[in-house]
Structure 1
């Protein structure tokens, strides 16, 4: 996963596009997906140790992998599972509700520790007044800075936008929802 993200960064950094949106980052990989894989025994102690040893030096050497911000599309594991069942994509057929619950728990512990059971692991703070004034009123109360001693130093104070994706919204038909 890590090498794939680095290759994506290398390929996209040579482009001239001012904006890149990525479904996941090296940070969600290490803080969520790799941890879930390790806890499920899909990767062993040696593999996670190698991953962890490579992470800091490589990220420090490639500052382009550090995002300007995160967008957390928040939905319950049950909602995600129902949507996957409705899509009926072959590649999603083997994804269990338990796996989605594990991913959700890790995302929540990382991004919303004040709502998870990991109080004190990290904190979030509101944006500075200068940034707060530049935010659109519809998202002002949903942007926070990530902070915490377990986070890589390069994402300290990176803003994160939290969007509630629990409701089942049809963006192709609901023009107001699409605008928002």
Structure 2
């Protein structure tokens, strides 16, 4: 059954139904239209009813209203679920932040750990050294930049790993089990042995 053959006929009476009939769930919409009109489940029977039944336009309008209401309800439910998920995520973040602040160590809670502070001070020194190097011997700028890039990447990697590890520990202490792609792969590989 090809319901798209009657799309234009249905759309002339109920535009939203016509559009839905042309979509991927057209056969489901076609069955609903046939049921509403009280005819066999076929495009030909629906087309005949639309041409001969004087109440067909009213029935389609009612079905279209029902379709719009159901779509609105589904969209509203989806948005509510997204808001609930966002609220739960924010509550988890808030709980983690509160536990971190209650820790009492302002240096640690302010910037996670010593590597973070070291990196911040290093960027200041790097900027100063780069400026001095440019004025003293501009030909050495490439070597200085290479050293800065290597230092920045290595400190950034250590900082990233440190932050991830500390965050996982904090979440675990609050009863949350943080998972990542690597965590799930490692869990699966351990389970298969």
**TM-score greater than 0.5 by the shorter chain:** no
Structure with the largest fraction of helix: 2
Larger Rg: 1 or 2? 2
TM tier, smaller:
under 0.3
Of structures 1 and 2, the one scoring higher in RCO (CA 8 A, sep 6+) is: 1
Under a length normalisation based on structure 2, what TM-score does the superposition of the two structures give? 0.18
Structure with the largest fraction of strand: 1
Under a length normalisation based on structure 1, what TM-score does the superposition of the two structures give? 0.19
